[in-house]
Amino acid sequence: MAETAWTIKALLQWTTEHFTKKGLDSPRLDAELLLAHVLNCKRIDLIVRYDELPTDAEKTAFRELVKKRLDRCPTAYLVGVREFYLLPFEVTPAVLIPRPDTETLVDAAIDFLKKRPTPTALDVGTGSGCVAVSLANAVKAATVTAADVSPDALAVAKRNAKRNGVADRVQFLNGNLFSPLSAGTSFDLIVSNPPYIPPVEIETLMPEVKDHEPRIALDGGTDGLAFYRRLSAESGRWLKPGGGLMVEIGHTQADAVRNLFESAGFQVGKTIKDRGGRPRVVVGKMEKA
Angle at 105 between CA 101 and CA 111, to 5 degrees: 135
CA 158, CA 166: separation in Å to the nearest integer? 10
Tell me the torsion sign for CA atoms 31, 32, 38, 39.
positive
Would you list which residues are annotated within the binding site? 125-129, 148, 193-196
* Residue 198, C-beta contacts closer than 8 angstroms, at least 6 positions apart: 219, 220, 221, 222, 223, 224
Give the pairing of strands 143-148 and 170-174: parallel
Would you list which residues are annotated within the binding site for substrate? 193-196
Angle at 186 between CA 184 and CA 190, to 5 degrees: 145
DSSP-assigned states of every residue in 218-237: TB--TTS-HHHHHHHHHGGG
* Residue 188, C-beta contacts closer than 8 angstroms, at least 6 positions apart: 112, 113, 116, 119, 120, 121, 239, 240, 242, 243, 244
Distance from chain centroid for Cα 62: 26
Query: How long a stretch of residues is the chain?
Result: 289
Would you list which residues are annotated within the binding site for S-adenosyl-L-methionine? 125-129, 148, 193
